[in-house]
Chains A and B, each alone.
Chain A
């Protein structure tokens, strides 16, 4: 049994991870493109018009996955940054750096699409409500992480400084998630919970297809970026000259 076990530690070395990541990228990128097309098709041509919100609710098919990805990627970034810091694992720190721009983009998308949905639904572009404000703070945390890392020349010192910020900021994620329960909020509560599912099946299908698409897109883009970070940081390594030859 132990003979068949994958040696995960092997892939903690950039030299081993670099070619593996290269092989994995198309396996995530191609299904992501297919899911985007399928999700848009179901969301626009199959899902019915909402009885209350009319057509503008279709914004939620992309708003909800973007918001989930923004939070999920932050947690992943903090975990990788923490592992990189605690175990002095440079690849984990590189993963955290690679995740940050994609997480920031999804958080920005969730804020913009939320605002574009809020105007017709609530009559306002923005309110200083707990959910919206804590999501804005999430965007600032991402921007802070990226700025802090790029302001420090030494890569390992930048990794450690980023890890502190990422780990302190992770407290904001449960605040975002539970904000609609803890405070009176204009933002609605969770539509999908463990015990209830308040959505037409075709609407849920569109949302989950786009969630899958965003998820696979994030993995593909992060793998591409981490390969470039490896190449930038380890440019003197002999293995890299062979791998990129």
Chain B
């Protein structure tokens, strides 16, 4: 496992760690942002759905 030893000792190892670290960190941030967007959508959809139901009932009653 020469590479493991290399990562523990070599001064350039930080560049490799940094590269893969930045890549996976940005991907993780992208996924977290999407999950946040999903939560916001779910929160917004609840009152909207209730409003739509009551609106539907009103128009239905009017047509009776």
Contacts and interface: CB of A to CB of B under 8 A. Distances in A.
Contacts of B10: 55
B19 A63 contact: yes
Interface string A143-174: 00000000000000000000000000000000
A80 interface: no
Main secondary structure of the interface of B (DSSP, over half): helix
Given A101-B30, A244-B45, A66 B23 contact: yes
A55 B26 contact: no
Nearest to B31: A221
B41 A225 contact: no
Interface in B8-52: 10, 12-13, 15-16, 18-20, 22-23, 26-27, 30-31, 34, 37-38, 41, 44-45, 48-49, 52
Contacts of B49: 241
A241 B52 contact: yes
Contact of B27 (A105, A112, A236): A105
Contact of B19 (A49, A113, A232, A235): A113
> Chain A interface: which size bin?
20 to 34
Interface residues of B, number: 27
Contact of A116 (B15, B30, B31): B15
Contacts of A119: 15
A66 B22 CA distance: 12
B52 to A, nearest CB: 6
A230 to B, nearest CB: 10
Contacts of B45: 231, 235, 244
Interface in A103-138: 105, 108-109, 112-113, 116-117, 119-120
Contact of B41 (A56, A105, A231): A231
A54 B41 contact: no
Of B3, B6, B15, B44, which is in contact with the most chain A CB atoms at under 10 Å from its CB?
B15
Contact of B38 (A62, A105, A228): A228
Given A55-B12, A56-B12, A231-B41, A225 B34 contact: yes
B20 A62 contact: yes
Interface of B: 1-3, 6, 10, 12-13, 15-16, 18-20, 22-23, 26-27, 30-31, 34, 37-38, 41, 44-45, 48-49, 52
Interface of A: 40, 44-45, 49, 54-56, 58-59, 62-63, 66, 101-102, 105, 108-109, 112-113, 116-117, 119-120, 217, 221, 224-225, 228, 231-232, 235-236, 241, 244
The 4 closest A-B pairs by CB, nearest first: A113-B19, A59-B19, A116-B15, A116-B19
Given A117-B19, A217-B27, A224-B34, 11 more contacts: A49-B2, A59-B15, A108-B26, A109-B22, A109-B23, A119-B15, A120-B12, A120-B15, A228-B37, A235-B44, A235-B45
